[in-house]
Structures are given as C-alpha cells and as structure tokens.
Amino acid sequence: MAARHFKQMDFEHWDRFYRANFFNSLGGFKSLNLLGTRSASGQENLGLFFSVIHIGAHPPLVGVLFRPHTVPRHTLENIYDTKELTLNAVSRGMVRQAHQCAAKYERGVSEFEATGLTPWYSKAHKAPYVKQSLLKAGCTFVEKQHIQANDTILLIAKIREVYLEEKAIAQDGFIHHEQLQTVSVNGLDAYYTPKLIERLVYPRPDAPVKKREDD
Ligand SMILES: Cc1cc2nc3c(=O)[nH]c(=O)nc-3n(C[C@H](O)[C@H](O)[C@H](O)COP(=O)(O)O)c2cc1C
C-alpha cells in the first residue's frame, strides 16, 4: 500500500462531504447506541449515536458527544427537559432501523413508529427503551460540558439500571458484546460485527503479556 501524506491545506480544499467522511472514520470503529428519550409532553424519540464513551465505573458514568445545538437536537433537548435517557446497544438485526433513526424527523414524529422498533418501559425509568436491543441502560443527566473548540456538548449521565442477556456476562463482570452481536460503526454509514481476538491479563511493567486463564 502506498502511504499518502495530507496537510492542513488539503483538508481546507476538500469537498465538505469528503472531509466529513475522512475525519468521521479516521478514529476507527466505535460503539453504536440508540438513545431513547421522551419530551416533557411525553413524545417518544430515538436518536443514533456513535460517541458514547466510558467516563467512570464508580459511580457508573457515560459521556455522549452532541453536535452543535444550532439546529433542533431532539435527544439533547429532551434530556435537558426530563433528565432521563436510555442507551440501547444496536445489534446486528437492528442495523437498518437504527440507521434510519439518524434521519431528521419532525419533533412530532416518533422514530419508534417510523422504523418499527418497539418502545418498552421499565418500572423505574420514564425514558423509553428499545425492546429489540440486547443491552439496555437507563441513565439520568448529571452535567454538560461545552467544548469551545467546535461548539459541541459532552453530556455526562449516570447509569441507574441495566438489562442484558445473562449469558453474555463473564464471571468477572466483563460483557461479551460479540455474543450479543453488538454492532460497531466506522464513519456514519459502515456497520460491522466485531470478533474477539483474546482477553489479556492487565499489563504490569515487570510481567510478560499473558492470556487470561478464566475466560
Ligand atoms: C452512525 C451515526 C452515528 C451518529 N452519531 C452521532 C453522535 O455521536 N452525536 C451526534 O450529535 N449525532 C450523531 N449522529 C447524528 C444523529 O443521529 C442525528 O442528528 C439524529 O437526527 C439525532 O436525532 P434527534 O434530533 O432526534 O436527537 C450520528 C448519525 C449516524 C448515522
């Protein structure tokens, strides 16, 4: 493969869709979640997000990066208004419906109805889950951080409850997403099902890399 070298000048001259595709995929494979919310008046909403990241385990916190709030952002507005959201991992069988949830529907349109995904409610949580998702987490809003560099919002939420298939949980608490057929995404349109290579013992400077015995 011949390596190419790109510089700031190249980035500036690219067509904006080419630039968006290039940089959206540069960071590689990411997780994919549908965020379920409800407006103050009860209107259900689903949005597709590849920017859910782990912030901490104790307390369990996740972050989600939102594009600039210069146009209506239903998920973000609903979270500000009602403080609740659900994370629903996208599995292989849901890819096309999940992709369609990224379309700019009017506020009064539910992506559940538009795509055929099924809303499901737990006793403890007001935001809707996606019934078809094999890993669901109910979260509440904690704080938002404004990223000045490009006017995006990093929203932090606390995980209050989780639903997932028992068989996918290893003895040590690790979640085997490949058993749930959880999807990864690269860019805004390329979907993958990842395959486990191996699990390794956490590295120490004085020890060789070692495969975990218990997995
Ligand atoms: C694969 C994929 C991943 C996306 N990830 C994000 C994301 O992490 N943050 C974001 O603000 N928008 C993201 N989007 C765009 C939103 O899905 C889109 O703006 C959607 O309309 C948001 O719905 P809402 O207005 O109901 O919240 C993504 C789109 C696709 C196709």
User: What is the whole-number distance in angstroms between the Cα of residue 209 and the centre of ligand 1?
Assistant: 38
User: What is the whole-number distance in angstroms between the Cα of residue 67 and the centre of ligand 1?
Assistant: 8
Atom 19, ligand 1: residue with shortest CA distance: 102
Q: Could you report the per-residue pLDDT of 4-20, keeping only the tens digit for each?
A: 999 999 999 999 999 99
Question: Which pLDDT score is estimated for 159?
Answer: 98
H or E stretch covering 31: strand 30-31
Written as one letter, the residue type at 46 is L
The mean pLDDT of 92-100, rounded to a whole number, is 98
Choosing from 25, 37, 45, 49 the residue with most ligand 1 atoms within 8 A of its CB, the one to mutate for a pocket test is 49
Q: Could you report the per-residue pLDDT of 141-200, keeping only the tens digit for each?
A: 999 999 999 999 999 999 999 999 999 999 999 999 999 999 999 999 999 999 999 999
Which residues neighbour 25 within 8 Å (Cβ) at sequence distance 6 or greater?
186, 187, 190
Question: Which pLDDT score is estimated for 168?
Answer: 96
Q: Which residue has the tokens 């639903």?
A: 163
Atom of ligand 1 nearest to the CA of 75: 27
Which residues neighbour 91 within 8 Å (Cβ) at sequence distance 6 or greater?
132, 133, 134, 180, 181, 182, 183
pLDDT at 213 over 90: no
Question: Which pLDDT score is estimated for 69?
Answer: 80
Q: Which residue has the tokens 């940089």?
A: 23
Q: Could you report the per-residue pLDDT of 50-91, keeping only the tens digit for each?
A: 999 999 999 999 999 999 888 889 999 999 999 999 999 999
Question: Which pLDDT score is estimated for 75?
Answer: 97
pLDDT at 214 over 80: no
What CATH number does the domain located at 27-192 have? 2.30.110.10
Q: Could you report the per-residue pLDDT of 188-208, keeping only the tens digit for each?
A: 999 999 999 999 999 999 999
Question: Which pLDDT score is estimated for 70?
Answer: 85
Question: Which pLDDT score is estimated for 117?
Answer: 98
Atom of ligand 1 nearest to the CA of 187: 1
CB 165 within 8 A of CB 175: no
Atom 18, ligand 1: residue with shortest CA distance: 102
User: What is the whole-number distance in angstroms between the Cα of residue 42 and the centre of ligand 1?
Assistant: 21
Any residues with Cβ below 6 Å from ligand 1, and which?
Answer: 45, 47-51, 65-67, 73-75, 102, 104, 185, 188
DSSP labels, 36-89: EEE-TT--EEEEEES--EEEEETTEEEEEEE--TTS--HHHHHHHHH-EEEEEE
pLDDT at 215 over 70: no
Q: Percent of the chain scored above 90 by pLDDT?
A: 95
Strand partners, 185: 30, 191
Question: Which pLDDT score is estimated for 93?
Answer: 96
From CA 160, how far away is CA 139, in angstroms rounded?
5
Choosing from 30, 46, 50 the residue with most ligand 1 atoms within 8 A of its CB, the one to mutate for a pocket test is 50
